[in-house]
Amino acid sequence: MMLDCGLSMQSLLNFLPLSFVPSNKLMNLPNWMPSDTSDPDLEGELKENGDRVFVDSPPEFCPPLDKLIDFSQVDIILISNYLCMMALPFITEGTGFKGRVYATEPTLQIGRLLLEELVIYIEQCPKASFASQWKNFVHKCPYPLNEAFKPKSWKQIYNMNSVNASLSRIQMVGYNEKIDVYGALQVIPASSGYCLGSANWVISTEHEKIVYLSGSSTLTTHPRPMDHHALKNADVLIMTDLTQTPISNPDSMLGVLCVVVGLTLRGGGNVLIPCYPTGVVYDLFECLSGKMQELGVSNCPMFFISPVADMSLAYSNILAEWLSSVKQNKVYVPDEPFPHAMLVKSNKLKHFKHIYSEGFSTDFQEPCVVFCGHPSLRFGDVVQFIELWGNNPRNCIVFTEPDYDYIEALAPYQPLQIKVAHCAIDTSLNFTQANKLIRDLKPKTLVVPECYTQPPVSAPNLTELVISNHPDSTVIPYKWGEVINLPLKRKQGQVYIETNVAQRIMPIEVKPGISLSTITGVLNVKDNVHNIQDFSSENKINKLVKYEWGSLNITEFLQKLAQEGITDAKVESLGGNVVVVHLQDEDALIQLEDNSTHVVCNADEKLRTVLRNIVMQCLKKF
């Protein structure tokens, strides 16, 4: 079972931006070579700007490493939200993967938009050559390239065919839908409150429960609220995807954003907001349009530019069942759940696929607010807007997505005059919320990335920004590439007993409060479900086995011997609980001990049978 399928895109920051209009600035950056190297193959692969070195090549990504496991052995993949599936085509295509992928409907629909957008962004700016030699000289490069994580495993992006093939494997599920995994496990997605269709997963058998908690939010934004109840009392809680901005709070960041936008527009400048085509951007449209009205700059238009802008706006308004109750109730009127439908109708929000799309140049007016991708600033229309607005200090670029370090993102474009504001809005759980959640959920074992057990690198003094110790839970930290064993040992399974088998259960109380009964039946195993059925009538009797236990009562034994006509038994105690009964006429010796009987008898089969029967009659059975 694979939990999520995210793509590490930090590698992007080491590449030069892709521009579909050749940029003088970027094209004329000087080549860079390691000081003691003169490999002609490396010539032109690396460019220098300021103290940073960039790879001049189509950007590469760091997919989950395939050396650790064989993807063809993965039975199922659970996708938590649309941000955690960007590596899916790398895993499912061309690897022999035969399993199933589960995701909610919004995760599939919106995830498709993100994957398509990525492919379009990169394919629309083909590069003449792929740089590869630089990977042999990474150690000689300056920071941060020299610390790049496993650059030799980096891959080019997938194509649209792989996207379609990969997404066609996804099976859509609803919240609280019980998904049966080969009869062995049950998997249930529970709303995680983070984004449209985001889910946490409850993986359980009759006796064990593992909760996988991914991007979750307890804030009130547009998605359905987080479902805590389903996550309680797990044997193991795997917790990941906590906030990337532990120091700042999303509400105050939103406040700052509104002020910055207001000030910039009033000063005649433009606002550039690099963003994903979905998610928090819906809340930004709603919040900013209101704020702009208040500040008297509502005549400035908002532009939303993405190859999937129209799809994103349309989908968000048909997924009412996945929204917060306030938004959901709007469709009962019927109104569109998000106000951006109204903003589009009233021309306050205009959306285009690209800046070169028909109509954009006529509609474009300044000052304005532009939302466009990609947040890494390495491809997409944002590259053109930085070219256009970068040298005017009245403009402002506002970073709202938390995934990329904004200083690194801007590095290839420096020097820039445009103002820079950093208002990263990450609605995922912060450490206070996460610790409170752990106290509520009371997992027996808590599994977290090791970095959550130490204060953030950016703020080593803030020791409260960790997953603290919880008295009820054992914490197991994990690191990249590490194999950990979960303290979960399955001891019991479940079988179903049919009526007539159950009717034959005759409990014998062997000790106060403890009863035993044998059960024998035909076992029918289908899809890992065990059913015990009755035998067909003809051979029922001889299969009803009973067990004798305990010790013999010597008086009772002698009585029964007498009844069988054996009256010459001589009893001799050997100390302890060992008693020897000597049958002189029959020449038999019976040694009785705790829980065992030894018959030494050279007579015929008949006597042995008689003795056996008497011993068994004297014993307790179940």
Partner 1 sequence: MPEIKVTPLGAGQDVGRSCILLSMGGKNIMLDCGMHMGYNDERRFPDFSYISDGPLSPFIDCVIISHFHLDHCGALPYMSEMVGYTGPIYMTHPTKAIAPILLEDMRKVSVEKKGDQNFFTSQMIKDCMKKVIAVTLHQSVMVDNDIEIKAYYAGHVLGAAMFWIKVGSQSVVYTGDYNMTPDRHLGAAWIDKCRPDLLISESTYATTIRDSKRCREKDFLKKVHECVDRGGKVLIPVFALGRAQELCILLETYWERMNLKAPIYFALGLTEKANNYYKMFITWTNQKIRKTFVQRNMFDFKHIKAFDRQFIDNPGPMVVFATPGMLHAGLSLQIFKKWAPNENNMIIMPGFCVQGTVGHKILNGAKKVEFENRQVVEVKMSVEYMSFSAHADAKGIMQLIQHCEPRNVMLVHGEAAKMEFLKEKIQQEFNMKCYNPANGETSVISTPVKIPIDASLSLLKSEAKRFSALPPDPKRRRTLHGVLVMKDSNVCLMNVDDACKEAGISRHVIRFTSTVHLNDPGPSLTTAHKLHGLMRGEVAAMVGELLGRRDLGGVGACEGGR
Is residue 434 within 8 Å of residue 467, measured between CB atoms? yes
Q: How far is the CB of 594 from partner 1 (least distance, A)?
A: 7
Q: How far is the CB of 310 from partner 1 (least distance, A)?
A: 6
Taking the least distance from each CB to partner 1, the nearer of 457 and 514 is 514
Q: How far is the CB of 214 from partner 1 (least distance, A)?
A: 20
Which strands sit side by side in the sheet containing 445-449, from one edge to the other? Answer: 179-181, 185-191, 199-204, 209-213, 236-239, 445-449, 474-478
Taking the least distance from each CB to partner 1, the nearer of 139 and 511 is 511
Place of tokens 């610790």: 435
Taking the least distance from each CB to partner 1, the nearer of 321 and 450 is 321
Taking the least distance from each CB to partner 1, the nearer of 120 and 295 is 120
CA 363 to chain centre: 42
Is residue 404 within 8 Å of residue 277, measured between CB atoms? no
Separation of alpha carbons 613 and 548, rounded Å: 12
Taking the least distance from each CB to partner 1, the nearer of 35 and 485 is 485
Q: How far is the CB of 61 from partner 1 (least distance, A)?
A: 28
Element (H, E) at 340: helix 340-345
Is residue 215 within 8 Å of residue 228, measured between CB atoms? no
Place of tokens 């938590």: 80
Q: How far is the CB of 496 from partner 1 (least distance, A)?
A: 4
Taking the least distance from each CB to partner 1, the nearer of 30 and 334 is 334
Sign of the Cα torsion 566, 568, 574, 580 reads negative
Q: How far is the CB of 165 from partner 1 (least distance, A)?
A: 17
Q: How far is the CB of 578 from partner 1 (least distance, A)?
A: 14
Q: How far is the CB of 327 from partner 1 (least distance, A)?
A: 11
- Taking residue 89's Cβ as centre, other Cβ atoms within 10 Å add up to 25
Half-sphere exposure of 480 (CA within 13 A, CB side): 6
Taking the least distance from each CB to partner 1, the nearer of 24 and 492 is 492
State both tokens at 86. 């960007």
Separation of alpha carbons 304 and 217, rounded Å: 25
Q: How far is the CB of 113 from partner 1 (least distance, A)?
A: 10
Separation of alpha carbons 117 and 440, rounded Å: 39
Q: What is the DSSP string of 218-234?
A: -S-SSBPPP--GGGTT-
Taking the least distance from each CB to partner 1, the nearer of 268 and 487 is 487
Taking the least distance from each CB to partner 1, the nearer of 451 and 578 is 578
Q: How far is the CB of 340 from partner 1 (least distance, A)?
A: 14
Strands 236-239 and 209-213: parallel
Q: How far is the CB of 160 from partner 1 (least distance, A)?
A: 16
Coil vs helix vs strand at 602: coil
Taking the least distance from each CB to partner 1, the nearer of 463 and 524 is 524
Instruction: For residue 413, give the DSSP letter.
Output: G
Q: How far is the CB of 599 from partner 1 (least distance, A)?
A: 5
Taking the least distance from each CB to partner 1, the nearer of 524 and 559 is 524
Is residue 373 within 8 Å of residue 382, measured between CB atoms? yes
State both tokens at 403. 């995934």
Taking the least distance from each CB to partner 1, the nearer of 38 and 494 is 494
Q: How far is CA 250 from CA 81, 193, 365, 450, in A?
A: 20, 15, 30, 24
Q: To 5 degrees, how large is the angle CA 321–CA 322–CA 326?
A: 80
Separation of alpha carbons 223 and 607, rounded Å: 82
Is residue 382 within 8 Å of residue 401, measured between CB atoms? no
Beta bridge partners of 30: none
Coil vs helix vs strand at 259: helix
